[in-house]
Amino acid sequence: MTVTLPDEPGLALFREDQLRLELACALYASRGVAKGLAARLAGMELDAFEEELHSRGVSIGCKPADLDADLAALDHLLKK
């Protein structure tokens, strides 16, 4: 896939790797792509990408539905 950006002076300030990282973080934060795919898009190892997400305040945790299921399972186990 090729992405063509407008030839604007403001965009000339960014290197390709910076733009790839910004795109990857934004896509992951909006849940548009999975974390592994976003890390590959950014050209980073998964651990390094997770650290970048953390530094930006982007949650790398589970989805609310996953948390609800885990809490229900824990509640079930505690009632035994």
DSSP string, 16-40: HHHHHHHHHHHHHHTTSS-HHHHHH
Put residue 5 in one of left, alpha, beta given phi > 0 → left and psi -120 to 50 → alpha.
beta
Residue 62 — very low, low, confident or very high, per pLDDT cuts 50/70/90? low
Residue with tokens 């530094």: 55
- Span 6-55, pLDDT tens digits: 999 998 899 999 999 999 999 999 988 999 999 999 999 999 999 999 99
Mean pLDDT (whole number) for 47-74: 86
pTM of this prediction? 0.71
Q: Do residues 27 and 41 make contact, with C-beta atoms less than 8 angstroms apart?
A: yes
Question: Which sequence spans correspond to the domains of the chain?
Answer: 11-78
Checking if the pLDDT of 61 tops 80, the result is no
